[in-house]
Chain A
Amino acid sequence: MTTVFFQQMLNGVILGCIYALIALGLSLIYGILEMANFAHGEFYMLGAFMALFSMTLLGVPFFAAMLIAMAGMALFSALTERFIFRPIVGKPLINSMLLSFGLSTALANLALYFFRADPRKITSGLAGIRFRFMGLFLTGERLMILILSVVLVLCLAWFIQYTRMGKAMRAVAQDRTAAQLAGINVRRVYSVTFAVSGALAAAAGTMVGAMFFVSPEMGFTVVLKSFVIVILGGFGSVKGVIFAAILIGLTESLGGGFISYAYKDAYPFLLLVLLFILRPEGLTGGNR
């Protein structure tokens, strides 16, 4: 029993690490452009397909495929920002929600049309390696996913904290007008934000594609969950988002394992409600 429990915990942490990658991208867009991007789940799905096709059609190895997917989705995401999201910067939130929902519907159904619904798997070639320790199972693949997502999150944290662009992003998040007055190119910040968020989503999609499978509708519930993570973690806080992502991963894994698997999509909502009852002002105090 305890072994199963710890095994589920481990799975939950791995799931949480992937959720963190997706939610961090959403959180960046939310913080810097003040937009809700429901198409983020489709970026993640398209990234997974891009990696899949690079492997099956071009025959590149797993890591190269992931890098191709990240670069491809960074470009794609920056282009959507330029041509679709930019016209509505500064408009009420409902506009960005509906706009991105439309984009999400269009992309998901295009993918369904071209790629078909049957689930496919990305083969990393590491699933065969098995580690055992203290009764817990860990495949090489899952270990690699754990390491990769931690590395990516650290890279992101370093990027935001220490690079010029990262500083500019934080400045825009704090006060758009003041940042503009200080000579920051706000439009470039927007493009980079979307590019980074698209690349992270693609990385997450590739890893999920290796762990589970790739399908056109994989993006939808993930994006809702990621929003819950962003809310739970407090907007704009990298640490909070990571913490909340692991919390959601654990709830899903443990709740799915011990309470009911059928209701696993409902747990994040219950967690949210619990939060509102315990801390009416939100996890981080005043919510915006």
Chain B
Amino acid sequence: MMKRLLTAAFALLAVLGLYELPLLFSMDYYLHIFVMSEIYAVLALSLALIVGFAGQVSMGHAAFYGMGAYVSALLSVRFGWSFWVTFWLAGLFAGAVSWGIGRLVLRLRGHVLAITTAFFGVLVTVVMNNWIPVTNGPMGIAGIPRPTPLFPGSLRFVFESRLHYYYLGLFFVAGVLFVLYRLVNSRLGDAMVAIRENEELARSLGIDAMKSKVFAFTVGGGIAGLAGAFYAHYILFISPVTFTMSESINMLVMVIFGGMSTLFGPVLGAVALTILPEFLRMAGEMRLVIYGVALVCFIIWLPMGVWGTLRNRLFSGRE
């Protein structure tokens, strides 16, 4: 009883805090970082499903993110379709492609899988750069429309300022969290964890390993596609440089940084790794050098992730 009350109070505080946050930091620059944190939170969550729960290392996640962005942007720029339609189509498209790719590559393991997915990511950027009639090549796609206003009942929601996007993003993150929470706490989620821990053993218990892995890959890719659509209609311009392999690695680092096999960890990692690099802006040209060195130190000293290490320190001996 006490515990439930505490949880409810904590949830209420969190919601209030997230609602009030932009009022404390109202500068456009901060709001932009918050919106980007939301997008990365979704991306890290979707990748955590594949890497953390199903245990399949993907180094090409940015490909699905990029595909979603391009599909949504192209449909709305070329055909004038509304964001509320193209958003879902982007997710469906990315999900369908990841289903196909998943069926092809998920029988591989370990390094082979990682390299193959990395190369798939390279393939996607090569296509973005060279299929100029459709993607406009390295010039990217400009003039992507904002989401059209919504009129539920007598209310009217418009999406014009960063603040609006921030609140829309909160719903997005919450929705993804909800779906993934239900998923990882279902039988299918248990099957994924079983595969991560020991695929042979899981198979011997009658778990269809391939099916569960492909499922995780499809859902993860689809959600990344949705995030891509959100990104495209927020920044209003997309080009291939956003969706390269370093972006995939960045997402992986977020997942590891926060701790892989929880849902809270990736969110923490995404927010932390969107905000922290902002402090490196003043380093100018040395920014990526510092990032690389930090990554090396992080992997050597905290391989369990910040959240995982903290949890081990705080709760060691309890379980």
Contact = CB atoms under 8 A, between A and B. Distances in A.
Interface stretch (A6-14, A67-75, A193-201, A259-267): A259-267
B249 interface: yes
B57 A93 contact: yes
Question: Chain B interface: which size bin?
Answer: 35 or more
B119 A268 contact: yes
Contact of B119 (A108, A224, A280, A288): A224
Nearest to A91: B303
Contacts of B127: 266
B112 A107 contact: no
A94 B57 contact: yes
A103 B291 CA distance: 9
A273 B249 CA distance: 22
A109 interface: yes
Interface string B286-309: 101101111110111001000000
Contact of B291 (A99, A105, A265, A268): A105
Contacts of B249: 98, 101
Interface in B108-139: 108-112, 114-116, 118-120, 122-123, 126-127, 129-130
A147 to B, nearest CB: 31
Which of A91, A227, A288 has the most chain B CB atoms inside 10 A of its CB?
A227
Nearest to B130: A262
Main secondary structure of the interface of B (DSSP, over half): helix
B252 interface: yes
A288 B300 CA distance: 24
Contacts of B311: none
Interface residues of A, number: 45
Interface string A248-275: 0000000000001011011011101100
A101 B295 contact: yes
Contacts of A262: 126, 129-130
A230 B26 CA distance: 52
Contacts of A103: 292, 296
Interface string B230-251: 0000000000000000100100
Contact of B299 (A36, A102, A260): A102
A98 B252 contact: yes
A146 interface: no
Contacts of B293: 102, 106
Contacts of A221: 122
B107 interface: yes
Contact of B288 (A109, A277, A282): A109
B289 A94 contact: no
Given A30-B111, A228-B115, A228-B119, A84 B291 contact: no
B299 A99 contact: yes
B104 interface: yes
Contacts of B120: 269
B319 interface: no
A78 to B, nearest CB: 17
B253 interface: yes
A112 B287 CA distance: 12
B59 interface: yes
A106 B112 contact: no
Nearest to B293: A106
Nearest to B290: A106
Contact of B289 (A88, A106, A276, A287): A106
Given A88-B299, A97-B59, A103-B292, A287 B108 contact: yes
B292 A272 contact: no
A104 interface: yes
B250 to A, nearest CB: 10
A183 interface: no
Contacts of A102: 291-296, 298-299
A272 B119 contact: yes
A258 B195 CA distance: 44
A270 B289 CA distance: 33
Nearest to B295: A102
B129 to A, nearest CB: 8
A133 interface: no
A231 interface: yes
Nearest to B300: A87
Interface in B266-319: 285-286, 288-289, 291-296, 298-300, 303
A266 B127 CA distance: 9
Nearest to A281: B107
Nearest to B132: A262
A101 B119 CA distance: 15
7 contacts: A93-B114, A105-B288, A106-B292, A109-B286, A231-B116, A262-B130, A266-B127
Closest 3 CB pairs of A and B: A102-B295, A106-B292, A105-B292
Given A36-B111, A106-B296, 19 more contacts: A30-B111, A36-B114, A88-B299, A91-B303, A93-B111, A93-B114, A94-B114, A101-B295, A107-B292, A109-B288, A109-B292, A113-B289, A263-B130, A269-B116, A270-B123, A272-B119, A276-B116, A288-B109, A288-B110
